[in-house]
A and B are shown apart, each in its own frame.
Chain A
Amino acid sequence: MERIYIFKRFERFWHWSQALLIMFMLLSGFEVHGSFTLFGFENAVAYHTISAWMIITLWIFAVFWTFTTGEWKQYIPSMEKVDAMIKYYITGIFTNAPHPFKQTRLSKHNPLQKLAYIFVLVVINPIIWFSGWAYLFYNDLAVVGLQGLPLEWIAYVHVIGAYMMLVFFIAHVYLGTAGHTPTSHIKAMITGWEETD
């Protein structure tokens, strides 16, 4: 058994803050959308808006950290070993086959993970963020030349983003148990130390 320090303190703070915020925003957001009643519409709007600004703040720090530490390289996707990962999730994981990917400090995400995160970064997040801002500043859209854009369209796009995030969330939580041991990823995300074979 080998242990490597893989997630630094800020990274873990970022991850868990973001996790809480995303869960909270899914809850409050789907209430604003009308899917259920939990906090009450008025509170849900207020909470959702406050958490939006919190996650924006968090991301400003995260982007800064990612670039100053060079960690941005972790997110460069590649297709290498993607097939091996898929095969592992379809068969190997059930037969206790060895994990095809070995984590290192320089490469802490497996190829599928990288693809998933880049998808979040370039597709889901922009959908949510830009539609969210348009939603929030709907009456001032003329400033950016988007006057007349129906609120309905903005809401549609935002809700599509929310469903995508929900799907990502479910898969991400589950795949958190699909490390070298069912808890190794989760432990790593809490302590920073990942157990590898």
Chain B
Amino acid sequence: MKKQRYIIGYLLFLIGGVMVSSAGYASAKAETMQKPAAAIPATTANTKKAKSNSTADHSKFKELDKNFNSGPEVTKACLTCHTEAAKQVHATKHWTWEFINPATKRKLGKKNVINNFCTSTKTNETFCSACHVGYGWKDDKFDFTEEAAVDCLACHDTTKSYKKIPGLSGHPNYKKMEWPPHSGKFRPATDLKKIAQNVGQTSRDTCGGCHFYGGGGDAVKHGDLDSSLKQPGKYLDVHMDAKGLNFSCGKCHLSDSHEVSGSRYAPTSIDKKGAIMRGKAGERNPTTCVACHDNAPHKEYAKLNDHTDKIACQTCHIPEFARGPRETKMTWDWSTAGKLDEKGHPIKINSSSGAVAYDSKKGDFTYDRVVIPEYKWFNGEVKFTLFGDKVDGSDIVKINDMMGGPDDPNALIWPFKVFRGKQPYDVGNQTLAVFHTAGKDEAAFWGNFDWEKSMKAGMASTGVEYSGKMAFVETEMSWPITHMVAPKEDALTCAQCHKENGRLSKVAGIYQPGTNSTPILDMLGSIVAWLTLLGVIIHGGIRVIQSRKGA
């Protein structure tokens, strides 16, 4: 009897042991969930204009105490002190819109690539250059060596009143003008003096002025960048949380000599070297997650660190894109563009959510928000389909193809927004088309809705004569998702991948426990186990029957 008590005691001890350790694990987890992520007091964040820490008050500078007539005049004033600034800007891709792919040596950049949104900047510069850090780029005669043509204010305005207007070749409106067109609303003339006297560091507003509106409108292009990031809550972006860490863009996109780090043409897909010690960056990209967080950032549940050799941080920590209130564009079909109403006027049709679903200028669109990304291996190399690369309309054209696979040591599984569309290609020349859209001339598609004229003008700008035959080809463009990082409690949970048909079920070359992925082994194992059980039941059954007979 006494011994039995001992045994029961032992068993309780053992069960208790398992429960205590698992409860300990659970509470440790719960604790980390409640811990506030904001470690830096908001007051030290450097993005709030009211608390500028600058040593210079530009309103006290006599160079800026005058009424400027144009942007370039302001720039000249800036350059009287910041003597090297324009030369620095001239070296950046914000200015050149050109980027030489280090791997292939091919010319990329906005000036050269064709995407599947508005497709090409060529012949459309008067509009596109609203997002160029310069003044006056309206055709291929723009002087890229002109220092006064650098636009300082686009990035250094702090008043939120500076706006470059599409159609004005990179200039803001110097006179009162109706904006948006035909809206009946008017923008006052840009107060260059006030803006110049209040210049400061770049901010979410200045960077976002272009990058939140890529593709022709708020949230359109990237899926992880839109105007909701100007004042985001913690849920939307744990780093930019306006009441928390309040990061500016530049906190991660560290700049040196006006060159801003981080690139979509040559992204850093993997960095195995851990956090970057201040002063020791060398050639490494300071914009990555690893640059601050290291390669083994999970302290409470170390098993998660075992994922960092295959999975980009973004894959778990940005569980969806367009996580804010804005819808991002998902598809764009140019082939339906150009339909006019009975009076010959262009039309716009809104979707149920109020977004433009059809626009005569551009075709059909679809939108989505809180979108589950597509997951692909990616080693940082991007292969673009550029003008002149063979396109024959038989396959879906990958505008940018993400390189890498499971056996590539430099590849990780990344989340992507894949933007799909149909766009014109020149059948005779077998190339994606450059076509002329924006402008007041007769060939501009957005004014005259004539593909032939638009194609002729666009193709001519490349030096290739339009073959006379155009058609539409399906295209795909991949956008690595890396912004809108969720707080850790909103990151993917284990079971979102570790289950049958989980998030990564379509990614080749990985074994994921919990996905029931060994069917043959399971079948054989189960058969043997069931046969054993069956044998035992039969054996036991006979024993029971026999013993009853005996009794």
Whether the Cβ atoms of A96 and B536 lie closer than 8 Å is no
Whether the Cβ atoms of B7 and A34 lie closer than 8 Å is no
Whether the Cβ atoms of B7 and A177 lie closer than 8 Å is no
Whether the Cβ atoms of B514 and A96 lie closer than 8 Å is no
Rounded to whole Å, the gap between the CB of A151 and the closest CB of chain B is 5
Once bound together, how far apart are the Cα atoms of A139 and B296, in whole Å? Answer: 11
Once bound together, how far apart are the Cα atoms of A11 and B166, in whole Å? Answer: 84
Whether the Cβ atoms of B495 and A34 lie closer than 8 Å is no
Stretch at the interface among A70-78, A114-122, A156-164: A156-164
Q: B383-409: contact bitstring with A at CB < 8 Å (1 yes, 0 no)?
A: 000000000000000000000000000
Whether the Cβ atoms of A42 and B518 lie closer than 8 Å is no
Rounded to whole Å, the gap between the CB of A135 and the closest CB of chain B is 8
Whether the Cβ atoms of B18 and A51 lie closer than 8 Å is yes
Q: How large is the interface on A (under 10, 10 to 19, 20 to 34, 35 or more residues)?
A: 35 or more
Q: B503-520: contact bitstring with A at CB < 8 Å (1 yes, 0 no)?
A: 000000001011111100
Rounded to whole Å, the gap between the CB of A104 and the closest CB of chain B is 21
Rounded to whole Å, the gap between the CB of B386 and the closest CB of chain A is 37
Whether the Cβ atoms of A34 and B513 lie closer than 8 Å is yes
Q: Main secondary structure on chain B at its contact with chain A?
A: helix
Once bound together, how far apart are the Cα atoms of A69 and B153, in whole Å? Answer: 85
Chain A residues with CB below 8 A from B547, complex form: 96
Rounded to whole Å, the gap between the CB of B541 and the closest CB of chain A is 11
Once bound together, how far apart are the Cα atoms of A177 and B542, in whole Å? Answer: 13
Q: Is B6 an interface residue (CB 8 A)?
A: yes
Q: B524-548: contact bitstring with A at CB < 8 Å (1 yes, 0 no)?
A: 1110110011001001101100110
Rounded to whole Å, the gap between the CB of B540 and the closest CB of chain A is 6
Whether the Cβ atoms of A16 and B10 lie closer than 8 Å is yes
Chain B residues with CB below 8 A from A167, complex form: 528-529, 532
Whether the Cβ atoms of A20 and B493 lie closer than 8 Å is no
Once bound together, how far apart are the Cα atoms of A156 and B15, in whole Å? Answer: 29
Q: Is A138 an interface residue (CB 8 A)?
A: yes
Whether the Cβ atoms of A190 and B11 lie closer than 8 Å is no
Whether the Cβ atoms of A174 and B18 lie closer than 8 Å is no
What is the total of A-B residue contacts with beta carbons within 8 Å?
Answer: 121
User: Which of B22, B305, B494, B539 is in CB contact (< 8 Å) with A50?
Assistant: B22
Whether the Cβ atoms of A32 and B514 lie closer than 8 Å is yes
In the complex, which residue of chain A has the Cβ closest to the Cβ of B14? Answer: A17
Q: Is A101 an interface residue (CB 8 A)?
A: no
In the complex, which residue of chain B has the Cβ closest to the Cβ of A154? Answer: B511
Whether the Cβ atoms of B546 and A170 lie closer than 8 Å is no
Q: A163-197: contact bitstring with B at CB < 8 Å (1 yes, 0 no)?
A: 10011001100100100001000000011100000
Knowing A12-B7, A170-B536, the reply to whether A46 touches B514 (Cβ < 8 A) is no
Whether the Cβ atoms of A50 and B521 lie closer than 8 Å is no
Q: Is B4 an interface residue (CB 8 A)?
A: yes
Whether the Cβ atoms of B18 and A13 lie closer than 8 Å is no
Q: Is A93 an interface residue (CB 8 A)?
A: yes
Whether the Cβ atoms of A94 and B543 lie closer than 8 Å is yes
Chain B residues with CB below 8 A from A42, complex form: 493-495
Once bound together, how far apart are the Cα atoms of A31 and B500, in whole Å? Answer: 12
Whether the Cβ atoms of A45 and B303 lie closer than 8 Å is yes
Knowing A24-B18, A41-B494, A155-B518, the reply to whether A13 touches B539 (Cβ < 8 A) is no
Once bound together, how far apart are the Cα atoms of A12 and B494, in whole Å? Answer: 38
Chain B residues with CB below 8 A from A159, complex form: 518, 521-522, 525
Once bound together, how far apart are the Cα atoms of A95 and B543, in whole Å? Answer: 8
Q: List CB contacts (< 8 Å) of A115-161 with chain B.
A: 138-139, 150-152, 155-156, 159-160
Chain B residues with CB below 8 A from A170, complex form: 529, 532-533, 536
Q: Is B191 an interface residue (CB 8 A)?
A: no
Q: List CB contacts (< 8 Å) of B21-68 with chain A.
A: 21-22, 25-26
Rounded to whole Å, the gap between the CB of A111 and the closest CB of chain B is 19
Whether the Cβ atoms of A20 and B528 lie closer than 8 Å is no
Knowing A20-B11, A20-B14, A138-B306, the reply to whether A95 touches B546 (Cβ < 8 A) is yes
Whether the Cβ atoms of A177 and B517 lie closer than 8 Å is no
Rounded to whole Å, the gap between the CB of B507 and the closest CB of chain A is 14
Rounded to whole Å, the gap between the CB of B409 and the closest CB of chain A is 10
Whether the Cβ atoms of A41 and B514 lie closer than 8 Å is yes
Q: Is B258 an interface residue (CB 8 A)?
A: no
Chain A residues with CB below 8 A from B532, complex form: 167, 170-171
Whether the Cβ atoms of A160 and B14 lie closer than 8 Å is no
Rounded to whole Å, the gap between the CB of B406 and the closest CB of chain A is 10
Rounded to whole Å, the gap between the CB of B84 and the closest CB of chain A is 47
Chain B residues with CB below 8 A from A151, complex form: 511
Q: Is A56 an interface residue (CB 8 A)?
A: no
Q: Is A54 an interface residue (CB 8 A)?
A: yes
Once bound together, how far apart are the Cα atoms of A33 and B14, in whole Å? Answer: 25
Q: List CB contacts (< 8 Å) of B304-322 with chain A.
A: 305-306, 309
Once bound together, how far apart are the Cα atoms of A45 and B499, in whole Å? Answer: 13
Knowing A163-B529, A167-B528, the reply to whether A174 touches B539 (Cβ < 8 A) is yes
Whether the Cβ atoms of A174 and B11 lie closer than 8 Å is no
Once bound together, how far apart are the Cα atoms of A139 and B298, in whole Å? Answer: 14
Once bound together, how far apart are the Cα atoms of A192 and B7, in whole Å? Answer: 10
Q: List CB contacts (< 8 Å) of A1-47 with chain B.
A: 9, 12-13, 16-17, 20-21, 24, 31-35, 37, 40-43, 45-47
Knowing A32-B513, A174-B540, the reply to whether A46 touches B525 (Cβ < 8 A) is no
Once bound together, how far apart are the Cα atoms of A138 and B11, in whole Å? Answer: 32
Once bound together, how far apart are the Cα atoms of A102 and B516, in whole Å? Answer: 46
Chain B residues with CB below 8 A from A46, complex form: 22, 25
Rounded to whole Å, the gap between the CB of A67 and the closest CB of chain B is 21
Rounded to whole Å, the gap between the CB of B89 and the closest CB of chain A is 44
Q: Is B180 an interface residue (CB 8 A)?
A: no
Rounded to whole Å, the gap between the CB of A87 and the closest CB of chain B is 14
Q: Is B339 an interface residue (CB 8 A)?
A: no
Rounded to whole Å, the gap between the CB of A59 and the closest CB of chain B is 14
Which 8 pairs, one residue from A and one from B, show the smallest C-beta to C-beta distance?
A163-B525, A34-B516, A152-B511, A174-B536, A41-B495, A42-B494, A34-B514, A139-B306
Q: What are 28 inter-chain pairs, A to B, with CB distance below 8 A?
A: A9-B6, A12-B10, A13-B10, A21-B14, A24-B18, A33-B514, A33-B518, A34-B500, A34-B513, A34-B517, A41-B495, A45-B494, A49-B303, A50-B22, A54-B14, A54-B21, A94-B542, A94-B543, A94-B546, A96-B547, A150-B511, A163-B525, A163-B528, A166-B525, A170-B529, A174-B540, A190-B7, A191-B3
Residues of A within 8 A of B (CB): 9, 12-13, 16-17, 20-21, 24, 31-35, 37, 40-43, 45-47, 49-51, 54, 89, 93-96, 138-139, 150-152, 155-156, 159-160, 162-163, 166-167, 170-171, 174, 177, 182, 190-192
Known pairs A32-B513, A160-B525, A166-B525. 4 more at Cβ < 8 A?
A: A33-B516, A34-B517, A42-B493, A46-B25
